[in-house]
């Protein structure tokens, strides 16, 4: 189950449960996932 998958190209999920680097349950993982989704949104706004 890919919890980080976008929903209808409108909803972006972030949080430690969406990070796939093996550090599930960590604050660092939640922070990194937030940065990942923010970068995706910024790129979409540039289009």
The pLDDT value given to residue 23: 65
Whether the Cβ atoms of residue 15 and residue 33 lie closer than 8 Å to each other: yes
SS3 41: helix
R_g (Cα) of the chain, nearest Å: 11
pLDDT digits (tens, 9 = 90+) for 1-47: 466 666 767 778 788 888 777 666 688 888 988 998 899 889 988 98
Token digits for 42? Answer: 């910024």
pLDDT of residue 46: 92
Residue 18's pLDDT is 80
Please tell me the predicted confidence (pLDDT) of residue 28.
85
Flag whether the pTM goes above 0.85: no
């Amino acid at each position: 189950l890919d919890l980080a998958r976008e929903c209808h190209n409108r909803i972006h999920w972030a949080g430690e449960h969406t990070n796939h680097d093996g550090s599930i349950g960590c604050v660092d993982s939640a922070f990194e996932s937030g940065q990942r989704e923010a970068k995706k949104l910024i790129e979409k706004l540039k289009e």
